Structure 1
Amino acid sequence: MAALRAGRPVLVGGGTEYDVVLPAALAEPRWTAWTVRHTSGVLCAPLRAERAGALGLPPMVHDNQDPRSPRYTVSVDAAHGVTTGISATDRARTARVLADPASGPADLIRPGHLLPLTVHADGVVGRPEHAEAGVDLCRLAGFPPVALTARLVGEGVGTAGDEDVALLAARHDLPVIQIPELVEHRLRFGDGERGRVTRVTNARLPTVHGQLDAVGYRDEVTGAEHIALVGRPRTSVPLVAVHAECITGDIVKTTHCDCARRIAESAAVIAQEGGVLVYLRRPGARVLDALDGHTWTTADAGAAGAIVADLGYRSVRLLTGPATALQLARPDLTVLAVQNRPVSSLT
């Protein structure tokens, strides 16, 4: 983030395909010219579809036959402050116009020398490609979600691979980011604009274990509705339990898994000792998926950690379950220990 906020490039990708990524809002001639020298020279400007619509940028073609489906719009130049449009100075100017929230259709000329392309609405979570990575990085760095990108080329005839990029990054002191790393960051911490989860409702809930506070959350990555059952804290380092939705176990009480027993025991412990039970729902899960076993995901860990942190906890003890201490921990949440506390030991 420090490099992007200083207007310096980040090298993004993996394997044999890497892009130079700059925030379009800070595009200036020096680094734009550097990008042209080390890439194919074809400069793109990934942006959101709604931004393209606001700028009057229709698709380049209506029948996209590219199997990787890059969504190019018509090419553009800035309407003012440029000469031929092809120089690094001119293309940097055009990139800044695309990123400027005050710009409109009249601020651009079509066709031009910069290629905008629209990205998936969910960024790298929905489509883990270079264009989405560029927009997500700009957003995470606090800039308008418009990037300036180009594909790196190697010393030979092909695109730059891991070794080429490592040497280039070391020579120019530039950070390298793998797209899967960015996907994991998004799943754990959100998109940089909204929180990872949003609190939407709360109620006092009587249960067989005692009174609990029920707090509802909307997952800003998956769209799921999660719930946190909160017992009144009795210690400075409360207990936390995490449970993933299991219809066959929670409702049908199948003997194929012990989900029903574990959630009942966790609720009893939380009611007695204080803390929180996080119940995670999974949109799109099939009813019988649990028969094939549960898989704990990065999205689950990100949502659970964000919920616990939103409730104001900074240090917790984790009850044995699907989440590990390392998965739940965040910069604002410390997991001090893992507790194996069946309810039978408390009665």
Structure 2
Amino acid sequence: FIAAANCITPEIVNFMAMHGRGLICVPILEARCQELNLEMMVINNTSSHETPFTVSVDLLGHGCTTGISVSDRAKTIKALVDPDTKPEELGRPGHIFPLMARDGGVLRRTGHTEAAIDLAKLAGFEPAGVLVEIMNEDGTMARLPDLRKIAEKFELKIISIEDLVEYRMRNERLIERVSDTNINTEFGTFRLIGYRQTTTNQEHFALVMGSWTEKEPVLVRVHSSNLLDDIIGVKHAEDQVMLRSALERISLEGNGVMVYINRNLRGEPLFADKSAKNGTATGSTHNPDFDNRDYGIGAQILRDLKVGQMKLITNHPTKRAGLDGYHLEVSEVIAVDSVKVPKL
């Protein structure tokens, strides 16, 4: 269930608790989290979906007692969107779980967090939502057939993230093409096409070889960059192999796309997790693919290049929620043999 935070009432909280049965969360924008001094729940998010939990909160005073009653939780939710709320008015930890949404909504990250923000904005409310995952009475997760019955029972609308992505894709864009030139590489001549991200002014690019129609499968690699990794190979040899293997495969086939997303320009620390020992660095959770479910920019670049069917080069295949909304389909997954990763 999703509701606009501006419209929350104790009755809606009670409905979510009784019929949703999951954890009640409040997606808000990063700027609002900063205003309220809401830090991330953990520094290193290793959850499967990288759900962006901040520290949990309760409203202090204002008639609140334990924080768990539906009345207290409704007041806490209202306080999160009230511009007059001060950081010191929120007790931590608490019974309401804010989620820090990515700027750009579902076009940036196809998660329920961003979907709640987008729906609230489209309805004319503040960019803040309330959501709860739905479980069946036996405690199992409700799937689409169950959700359809629940929607019919309570006369509620049902919408998919794909629907929301498709709607926003028809009405707005997060990238614009700013340059197009040819470059010679050891793998052949590529078109170097530059893009500017309109929400942040970050610049990304694509290396393109050959041509295709939207119905033709195209080799695609979406690479999440790291300046030190890609230039001097200080951290992960796998990154270098993935990058070079993608360009080599594209060159051999004669057409394909390598999309390069500048991760460091998102403000991530350049020297994070670089504690080297004997020439290697620590950390085993690195994934050189574009961040989990944070691929909307890459998807818009691919659509600008008229890619429809993808032969995706990755060692980390995963089902991409919302991909259909971009009219992109993975027809094949091509893995790079990790045995070939050289030792640095």
Instruction: Tell me which interval the TM-score lies in, with the shorter structure as reference length.
Output: 0.5 to 0.7
Extract unaligned runs of 5+ from structure 1.
1-19, 190-195, 197-219, 226-244, 249-281, 304-326, 328-347
Mapped contact 1:100–1:144 kept (Cα < 8 A): no
Is the CA contact 1:188–1:298 (under 8 Å) kept in the aligned structure 2? no
TM-aligned CA deviation for residue 299 of structure 1: 5.6
* Residue type of the alignment partner of 1:120: R
2:91 is aligned with 1:109: yes
Select the residue among 19, 23, 36 that pairs with 2:4.
23
Residue 79 of structure 1 deviates from its aligned partner by 2.0
Q: Quick check: 2:5–2:26 contact (8 Å CA) kept in 1? A: yes
**1:247 positional shift:** 6.0
Matched, 1:64 2:17: no
Partners of 1:119 and 1:294 in 2: CA distance: 35
| TM-score (norm. length: structure 1) | 0.53
Structure 1 residue identity aligned to 2:174: V
1:84 corresponding residue in structure 2: 66
Q: Distance in 2 between matches of 1:116 and 1:77?
A: 11
Question: Partner of 2:11: helix, strand, or coil?
Answer: helix
Contact 1:224 1:283 (8 Å CA) reproduced: no
Question: In the superposition, relative to structure 1, how do residues 22 and 160 fare at CA in structure 2: closer, same or farther (>3 Å)?
Answer: same
The letter of the residue matching 1:76 is V
CA deviation digits over 1:47-78, x for unaligned, max 9?
11121111011111112221211111111011
Q: Secondary structure at the match of 1:177?
A: coil
RMSD (Å), alpha carbons: 2.8
The structure with the largest alpha-carbon Rg is: 1
Residue aligning to 2:149: 167
CA separation in 1, counterparts of 2:156 and 2:98?
24
Percent of aligned pairs sharing the same letter: 32
Structure 1 283/293 Cα, relative in aligned 2: closer, same or farther at 3 Å? Answer: farther
> Which SS does the other structure have where 1:44 is aligned?
strand
The whole-number CA distance in structure 1 between the counterparts of 2:119 and 2:149 is 22
Q: TM-score, normalised to structure 2's length?
A: 0.53
Give the distance between the partners of 1:169 and 1:107, measured in 2 at CA. Answer: 36
Per-residue deviation, residues 284-321 of structure 1 (Å, max 9, x unmatched)? 33242xx1415499969x99xxxxxxxxxxxxxxxxxx
Cα distance in structure 2, aligned partners of 1:299 and 1:184: 11
Instruction: Determine the C-alpha separation between the residues in 2 that align with 1:104 and 1:222.
Output: 35
2:175 maps to 222
Closer, same or farther: CA 224–157 of 1 in aligned 2, 3 Å: same
1:128 paired with 2:94, answer no
Partner residue in 1 for 2:26: 45
Secondary structure of residue in 2 paired with 1:64: coil
The answer for the alignment partner of 1:150 in structure 2 is 132
| Unaligned segments of structure 2, at least 5 residues | 183-202, 216-297, 305-326, 328-344
Report how far residue 174 of structure 1 moved: 0.5
Q: Structure 2: how far apart are the matches of 1:283 and 1:64?
A: 25
Alignment partner of 1:293 is 2:231: no
Give the residue type in structure 1 aligned to 2:129: A
Partner Cα separation in structure 1 for residue 176 and residue 26 of structure 2: 28
* Separation (CA, whole Å) in 1 of partners of 2:299 and 2:43: 36
Change (3 A) 1:68 1:184: same
- 63 and 299 in structure 1: CA distance in 2 versus 1, 3 angstrom threshold: closer
CA distance in 2, matches of 1:50, 1:135: 13
Question: Counterparts of 2:204 and 2:37 in 1: how far apart (Å)?
Answer: 35
Distance 2:84 2:300 in 1: 35
Report SS of the residue matched to 1:284.
Answer: strand
Q: Distance in 1 between matches of 2:32 and 2:214?
A: 37
Matches within 5 A, 1:1-347: 20-81=1-62, 82-189=64-171, 196=172, 220-224=173-177, 284-288=205-209, 291-295=210-214
Structure 2: distance between partners of 1:283 and 1:159:
38
String of CA shifts for 1:214-256, please: whole Å, max 9, x gaps: xxxxxx522445xxxxxxxxxxxxxxxxxxx9867xxxxxxxx
- Is the 8 Å Cα contact of residues 22 and 135 (structure 2) preserved in structure 1? no
